[in-house]
C-alpha cells in the first residue's frame, strides 16, 4: 500500500492540458489566466491630478507669491488645457490631466477661494505634490498580471483598465461524476428502510463548482455489464471521471475490475490513510479516473487531497501549503496518515485547529461543524501534542 | 470626521432584511440558509455495515468457534435479511443493513473464505465491531445544519441526504452599481489621452459576485440634472446603490448634494482613513447608499470594509475577525486608519502580512500582488513594528 505522499506524487505526474479558451473578462473570476496582461499605455496615462484644488507653477510659490489669479478649470475627462500666464493658477479636479505650465497641486482645504483669486493659506508645500505622475505605477508594455494567475476582483479591475474585454483562460476539464451503489435513491425520492439518498455526487459537484468546473452526474447500478458499457462511453467523452463507491473489497465492488477490462491503466489502489484508504486512481490516453471510496467523508477528503492539486497543476497553478496549530492533544493509533475534521480559528495572527469529534468516514454531519482537515502524518507515534503544527486543507 | 470604528458601527445599525426565497439545493452554495435542517430519520438510518466481510453472532466466536457456514449475502441496497441459524455467518457489504441475528462484522482481510465456509484467522475481535450503529451520528429530528449557516459543499451533502431538494435561503439584495466621471470610457473603447476606462464598477461586480449577489451597472455623466433624474429612479427600484466617484471636494462632485436633494438621509461623509476617506453613506426607507471615492483602491477597500459586513449582518451572518503578523517595520504618518495592501503567507500555523509597495489610492496594479489589506489603527504613533498583530481583510 502506498503512502499519501507517493499517491500525491503519482497523481501530479499524470496531469492533463485542457487547452485555452477566450471568454468575456467579467466571467473570468476564479479562472486561470493564460496570457500575460500588459499595460496598453502608461499607468496613469497622464500626469493625473490626485486631489481637488488648484494647480500652480511652484517657482512662484517659492518666490513668495500666495495669491494666484484663477485662469480656468481643468475637469476630469477634459483634454489637457494650458495655463497661459505662469503666475496664475488653475482649478483642478481629481482624475484630471494636470494643465500645461503647472507642476504642483494644492488641495482646496489649504486654499481660500475668493471669486477669481485663490490664496494659499499654508506655508509649506512640496514641489510636485498631489500629482500622480504619468507612468509612475507602470509603464507601457509592463506586465501587469502574469500568466497562470487565478483571476479575482483585483484582476478584473486591471483587465477592464487595459481594455481586455475578452481574456484567455485555461479551458475547464469535461468532468463526469458517477455514483454507484444499489442502496442509493435520488434526493427527491423517499428511501426505503435499507436505502439512503445519493449525496456524494452533489458534494463533488459543489467542490468542483468552487473551482468553476461544471460537471455532469450519473448513477449506475451495481451490475457489472451496465457499469462497463456506461463507463466505456464516459471514457471517450470526458477528461475526468470521478467515482464514488465500489472500490473496496465488497462482492459488488466491480469498479477496479471493470476499469481494468476497459484498458484504464491503474496508477494505484489503496493508500495508507484514514479515511479514504480504498482510493483507486488510473489513466487512459485522454482521461484521468479518480475512483473514491463511497463513504461521504472519504469522498470529500480525497477530492480535496488529490483532485484539487491535480486540477491546479493541470492548469498551471501552484498550491501553497497552509498549516495550523493543533489546539488539543490527540491520539491516533493506526500507522496511517490521518485526515481529521477541524474547526479553524484565527487568534493573534495564528491559526488554531480544534478537532471535531466525528464518528468515522460515514459521518457526513461532522463536516458541518468543521472548516477543514488537518493532516497528521503516518508515523509510529500515536500521540499528537497540542501546539504542534500540521498541514491543513480548508473547505470554507 | 468620524473614525472607521464609528463608521462601521453606523453602517451596521442600518442593515436591511431582504426576505427569504426557496431555491434548488444545488444552486445554494454560498447562500445563507434560512431554516434549520433536521434529520428526517436516524443517521445512519439502520445498523450499517462499515466494512466488507462477514457478519456473525459474537457469542459463537466467544465460545471458540472459528469456522462459520456462509448462509447468505447481504448486499448494500437490499432489504435487511435474517440469518436463520445463529451459528452461521452472512457475507456483508459496506453500506448494507446488518442482517438480523448478527452483531459483529469481521473484515475480509481477517477471514479465509472456502466456498461455503468462512474461517476467521485472527484471535481478537470486539463484539459489535465494524458496525455504524443506527442513530449513532444523529437521531431523527436532530438539527444537522443551523439556520444562518453559509452553505458550502459540506452542507450540500447533508441537504441531499435529508432530501431537501428545495431549500430556504436569504434573498439577495437588488444592487445597482453606478460609476460617474466624464473621464471614463467603457472597456471596449479606446480612450483618448485624457480619458481612462471604467474599471471600478467591474471590480465591484466581481466583489459582489463573490457573495453570490448579482448586480447591475450604469454610468452617469457628471451633469447634475442627469444624475438626479437617474438616481431618483434607482432609489425606487433597488435595495442598494453603490457609487464610485463624485464624493470628494471637486467642482463636479455633485453626488452628496444630489442625494441630499433626493431625500437620502446622510449617515456620514468622510471617514478618518486612508485610502477611502471621502466615503459618503446614506439611507432611505428602502435603500442603502454606499458612495465610495472613485480611486480604484479606495473603492475596493471600502467595499470590503463596509459593504461586506453590512451585507453579512443583513442576512444574519457574523463576520469573524482575522489577524496577521506584520512581517516588516512600517512608517505611516497621518493620524488616520490605514488600509495597506499586503501579501499573506502561512508559515508554521502563523499568518504573515508583507506590505506591497503601492503608489497611492490610484494604483490599481498594486492590488494584483497583494492578497488583502492590513488595518493599522488611527493613532499618534507613526511606527508600526515587525511582529505586531493587526486585523486583516483577505480578498483572495
Annotated domain spans of chain A: 4-18+172-314, 20-43+137-170, 48-132, 322-394
Mutate to test the interface with B, among A73, A80, A150, A160 (most CBs of B within 10 A): A160
Tell which wins on pLDDT, B80 or A248: B80
Angle formed at CA A381 by CA A376 and CA A387, multiple of 5 degrees = 55
Tell which wins on pLDDT, B389 or B94: B389
For residues A33 and A167, is the Cβ–Cβ distance under 8 A?
A: yes
Average pLDDT over residues A331-348: 95
Q: What is the largest CA-CA distance in chain A?
A: 96
Asked if the Cβ–Cβ distance from B95 to A181 is below 8 Å, we say yes
Q: What is the DSSP string of A241-267?
A: EEEES--SSSTT--HHHHHHHTTPEEE
Q: Give the pLDDT confidence score for residue B361 in this predicted structure.
A: 64
**Is the confidence at residue B251, as pLDDT, over 90?**
no
Q: Give the pLDDT confidence score for residue B319 in this predicted structure.
A: 82
Closest Cα in chain B, distance from residue A137 (Å): 6
At A361, the pLDDT band (50, 70, 90 cuts) reads low
At A387, the pLDDT band (50, 70, 90 cuts) reads very high
Give yes or no for A333 touching B (CB within 8 A): no
> Grid cell 504642483 — which residue?
A104
Q: Judged by CB atoms within 8 Å, which residues 254-293 of A form the interface with B?
A: none
Give yes or no for B196 touching A (CB within 8 A): yes
**Is the confidence at residue B37, as pLDDT, over 90?**
yes
For residues A242 and A292, is the Cβ–Cβ distance under 8 A?
A: yes
Q: Number of A to B CB contacts under 8 A, please give it.
A: 337
Average pLDDT over residues B21-34: 98
Q: Give the pLDDT confidence score for residue A14 in this predicted structure.
A: 98
* Nearest Cβ partner for B395 among A153, A248, A321: A153
Q: Judged by CB atoms within 8 Å, which residues 29-48 of B form the interface with A?
A: 29, 43-46, 48
User: Cα-flanking dihedrals φ and ψ of residue B243, to 5°?
Assistant: -110, 155
Cell digits for A229? 458499457
Q: Please name every residue paired with B91 in a beta bridge, in sequence order, or none if there are none.
A: B54, B73
For residues A375 and A337, is the Cβ–Cβ distance under 8 A?
A: yes
Closest Cα in chain A, distance from residue B1 (Å): 14
At A354, the pLDDT band (50, 70, 90 cuts) reads very high
Asked if the Cβ–Cβ distance from B182 to A78 is below 8 Å, we say yes
Tell which wins on pLDDT, B360 or B242: B242
Q: Please name every residue paired with A383 in a beta bridge, in sequence order, or none if there are none.
A: A331
For residues B94 and A247, is the Cβ–Cβ distance under 8 A?
A: no
Q: Give the pLDDT confidence score for residue A252 in this predicted structure.
A: 80
Q: Give the pLDDT confidence score for residue B122 in this predicted structure.
A: 96
Determine the residue of chain B that is closest to A43 in CA distance: B363
For residues A1 and A270, is the Cβ–Cβ distance under 8 A?
A: yes
Mutate to test the interface with A, among B161, B344, B356 (most CBs of A within 10 A): B161
SS (H, E, C) B255-266: HHHHHHHCCCEE
pLDDT digits (tens, 9 = 90+) for B338-350: 999 999 999 999 9
At B364, the pLDDT band (50, 70, 90 cuts) reads confident
Mutate to test the interface with B, among A254, A293, A364 (most CBs of B within 10 A): A364
**CA separation for the pair B11, B9 (Å, rounded):** 5
**CA separation for the pair B376, B364 (Å, rounded):** 20
The fold of A4-18+172-314 is: Molybdenum Cofactor Biosythetic Enzyme; Chain A (3.40.980)
- What class does CATH assign to B48-132? mainly beta
Give A-chain residues touching B94 at CB under 8 angstroms. 248, 250, 294-295
Give yes or no for A137 touching B (CB within 8 A): yes
Give B-chain residues touching A109 at CB under 8 angstroms. 249
Give yes or no for A141 touching B (CB within 8 A): no
Pick the CATH number of B20-43+137-170 from 3.40.50.1100, 3.90.105.10, 3.30.428.10, 3.30.70.20: 3.90.105.10
**CA separation for the pair B53, A179 (Å, rounded):** 22
Angle formed at CA A30 by CA A175 and CA A167, multiple of 5 degrees = 100
Asked if the Cβ–Cβ distance from B253 to A52 is below 8 Å, we say yes
Give yes or no for B70 touching A (CB within 8 A): no
Average pLDDT over residues B4-28: 98
Q: Give the pLDDT confidence score for residue B191 in this predicted structure.
A: 95
**Average predicted confidence (pLDDT) for chain A:** 95
Q: Give the pLDDT confidence score for residue A245 in this predicted structure.
A: 87
Q: Give the pLDDT confidence score for residue B366 in this predicted structure.
A: 87
At A362, the pLDDT band (50, 70, 90 cuts) reads low
Closest Cα in chain B, distance from residue A334 (Å): 15
Closest Cα in chain B, distance from residue A239 (Å): 22
Asked if the Cβ–Cβ distance from B156 to A205 is below 8 Å, we say yes
For residues A255 and A179, is the Cβ–Cβ distance under 8 A?
A: no
> Grid cell 496613469 — which residue?
A44
Q: Give the pLDDT confidence score for residue B358 in this predicted structure.
A: 75
Determine the residue of chain B that is closest to A200 in CA distance: B157
Determine the residue of chain B that is closest to A182 in CA distance: B77
Give yes or no for A357 touching B (CB within 8 A): no
Give B-chain residues touching A25 at CB under 8 angstroms. 187, 202
At B301, the pLDDT band (50, 70, 90 cuts) reads very high
Cell digits for A259? 476499469
For residues A298 and A361, is the Cβ–Cβ distance under 8 A?
A: yes
For residues B1 and B272, is the Cβ–Cβ distance under 8 A?
A: yes
Asked if the Cβ–Cβ distance from B158 to A108 is below 8 Å, we say no
> Grid cell 477566450 — which residue?
A22
**Is the confidence at residue B68, as pLDDT, over 70?**
yes
**CA separation for the pair A205, A185 (Å, rounded):** 17
Average pLDDT over residues B260-281: 96
Phi-psi region of A368 (alpha: psi -120 to 50; beta: other; left: phi over 0): alpha
Give yes or no for B295 touching A (CB within 8 A): yes
What percent of chain A clears pLDDT 90, i.e. is strictly above it? 88
Mutate to test the interface with A, among B95, B223, B319, B351 (most CBs of A within 10 A): B95
Asked if the Cβ–Cβ distance from A294 to B155 is below 8 Å, we say no
Mutate to test the interface with B, among A167, A206, A326 (most CBs of B within 10 A): A206
**CA separation for the pair A276, A272 (Å, rounded):** 9
Mutate to test the interface with A, among B26, B160, B342, B389 (most CBs of A within 10 A): B160
For residues B101 and B2, is the Cβ–Cβ distance under 8 A?
A: no
Give B-chain residues touching A244 at CB under 8 angstroms. none
Average pLDDT over residues A270-282: 96
Asked if the Cβ–Cβ distance from B205 to A370 is below 8 Å, we say no
**CA separation for the pair A17, A393 (Å, rounded):** 25
Give yes or no for A304 touching B (CB within 8 A): no
For residues A172 and A235, is the Cβ–Cβ distance under 8 A?
A: no
Peptide bond into B275 cis (omega under 30): yes
**CA separation for the pair B244, B396 (Å, rounded):** 22
Q: List all residues 6 or more positions away from B65 whose beta carbon is below 8 Å from its beta carbon.
A: B87
Give yes or no for B50 touching A (CB within 8 A): yes
**Is the confidence at residue B394, as pLDDT, over 80?**
yes
Burial class (CB in 10 A: 0-12, 13-18, 19+), A90: buried
Q: Please name every residue paired with B394 in a beta bridge, in sequence order, or none if there are none.
A: B372
For residues B69 and B85, is the Cβ–Cβ distance under 8 A?
A: yes
pLDDT digits (tens, 9 = 90+) for B140-168: 999 999 999 999 999 999 999 999 999 99
Asked if the Cβ–Cβ distance from A93 to B366 is below 8 Å, we say no
* Segments in chain A forming alpha helices (H): 4-12, 58-62, 153-161, 200-209, 224-237, 255-261, 296-302, 308-314, 366-369
pLDDT digits (tens, 9 = 90+) for A141-167: 999 999 999 999 999 999 999 999 999
**CA separation for the pair A319, A323 (Å, rounded):** 13
Asked if the Cβ–Cβ distance from A345 to B48 is below 8 Å, we say no
Q: Give the pLDDT confidence score for residue A357 in this predicted structure.
A: 83
Give yes or no for B202 touching A (CB within 8 A): yes
Q: Which string of b and e fits B144-183 if b means at least 16 CB within 10 Å?
A: bbeeebbbbbbbbbbbbbbbbeebbbbbbbbbbbbbbbbb
**Is the confidence at residue B357, as pLDDT, over 90?**
no
Give yes or no for A143 touching B (CB within 8 A): no
**Average predicted confidence (pLDDT) for chain B:** 95
What superfamily in CATH does domain A322-394 come from? MoeA, C-terminal, domain IV (2.40.340.10)
Give B-chain residues touching A368 at CB under 8 angstroms. 144-145, 149, 154-155, 158
Element (DSSP H or E) covering residue B10: helix B4-12
Average pLDDT over residues A330-349: 95
At A87, the pLDDT band (50, 70, 90 cuts) reads very high
Q: Give the pLDDT confidence score for residue A37 in this predicted structure.
A: 98
Q: Give the pLDDT confidence score for residue B362 in this predicted structure.
A: 65
Sign of the CA dihedral running B244, B250, B252, B257: positive
Give B-chain residues touching A138 at CB under 8 angstroms. 365
Determine the residue of chain B that is closest to A195 in CA distance: B77
Q: Give the pLDDT confidence score for residue A248 in this predicted structure.
A: 82
pLDDT digits (tens, 9 = 90+) for A30-84: 999 999 999 999 989 999 999 999 999 999 999 999 999 999 999 988 999 999 9
H helices then E strands: how many in chain B?
9, 28
Q: Please name every residue paired with A38 in a beta bridge, in sequence order, or none if there are none.
A: A143
Give yes or no for A324 touching B (CB within 8 A): yes
Give yes or no for A107 touching B (CB within 8 A): yes
* Nearest Cβ partner for B158 among A209, A295, A365: A365
Is the predicted ipTM greater than 0.85, yes or no? Answer: yes
**CA separation for the pair B197, A164 (Å, rounded):** 11
**CA separation for the pair B372, B352 (Å, rounded):** 11
Average pLDDT over residues A162-184: 95
Amino acid at each position: 500500500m502506498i503512502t499519501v505522499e507517493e499517491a500525491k506524487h503519482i497523481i501530479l505526474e499524470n496531469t492533463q492540458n485542457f487547452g485555452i479558451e477566450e471568454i468575456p473578462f467579467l466571467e473570468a473570476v476564479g479562472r486561470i489566466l493564460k496570457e500575460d496582461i500588459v499595460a496598453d499605455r502608461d499607468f496613469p496615462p497622464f500626469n493625473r491630478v490626485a486631489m481637488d484644488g488648484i494647480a500652480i507653477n511652484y517657482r512662484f510659490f517659492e518666490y513668495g507669491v500666495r495669491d494666484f489669479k484663477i485662469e480656468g478649470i481643468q475637469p476630469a475627462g477634459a483634454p489637457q488645457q494650458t495655463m497661459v500666464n505662469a503666475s496664475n493658477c488653475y482649478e483642478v479636479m481629481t482624475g484630471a490631466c494636470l494643465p500645461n505650465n503647472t507642476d504642483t497641486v494644492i488641495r482646496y482645504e489649504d486654499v481660500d477661494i475668493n471669486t477669481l483669486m485663490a490664496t494659499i493659506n499654508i506655508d509649506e508645500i512640496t514641489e510636485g505634490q498631489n500629482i500622480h505622475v504619468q507612468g509612475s505605477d507602470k509603464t507601457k508594455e509592463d506586465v501587469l498580471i502574469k500568466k497562470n494567475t487565478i483571476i479575482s476582483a483585483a484582476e478584473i479591475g486591471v483587465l477592464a483598465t487595459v481594455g481586455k474585454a475578452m481574456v484567455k483562460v485555461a479551458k475547464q476539464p469535461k468532468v463526469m461524476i458517477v455514483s454507484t451503489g444499489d442502496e442509493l435513491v435520488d434526493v427527491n425520492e423517499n428511501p426505503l428502510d435499507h436505502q439512503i439518498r445519493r449525496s456524494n455526487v452533489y458534494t463533488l459537484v459543489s467542490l468542483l463548482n468552487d473551482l468553476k468546473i461544471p460537471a455532469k452526474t450519473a448513477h449506475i447500478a451495481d451490475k457489472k455489464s451496465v457499469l462497463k458499457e456506461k463507463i466505456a462511453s464516459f471514457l471517450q467523452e470526458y477528461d475526468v471521471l470521478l467515482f464514488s463507491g465500489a472500490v473496496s473489497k465488497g462482492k459488488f465492488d466491480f469498479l477496479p475490475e471493470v476499469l481494468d477490462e476497459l484498458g484504464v491503466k491503474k496508477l494505484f489502489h489503496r493508500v495508507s490513510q484514514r479515511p479514504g484508504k480504498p482510493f483507486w486512481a488510473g489513466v487512459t490516453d485522454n482521461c484521468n479516473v479518480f475512483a473514491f471510496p463511497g463513504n461521504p467523508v472519504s469522498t470529500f477528503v480525497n477530492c480535496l487531497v488529490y483532485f484539487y492539486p491535480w486540477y491546479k497543476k493541470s492548469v498551471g497553478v501552484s498550491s501553497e501549503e497552509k498549516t495550523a496549530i493543533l489546539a488539543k492533544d490527540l491520539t491516533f493509533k493506526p500507522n496511517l496518515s490521518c485526515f481529521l475534521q477541524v474547526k479553524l480559528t484565527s487568534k493573534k495572527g495564528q491559526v488554531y485547529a480544534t478537532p471535531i469529534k466525528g464518528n468515522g468516514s460515514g459521518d457526513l454531519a461532522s463536516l458541518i461543524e468543521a472548516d477543514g482537515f488537518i493532516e497528521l502524518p503516518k508515523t509510529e507515534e500515536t500521540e499528537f501534542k497540542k501546539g504542534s503544527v500540521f498541514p491543513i486543507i480548508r473547505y470554507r
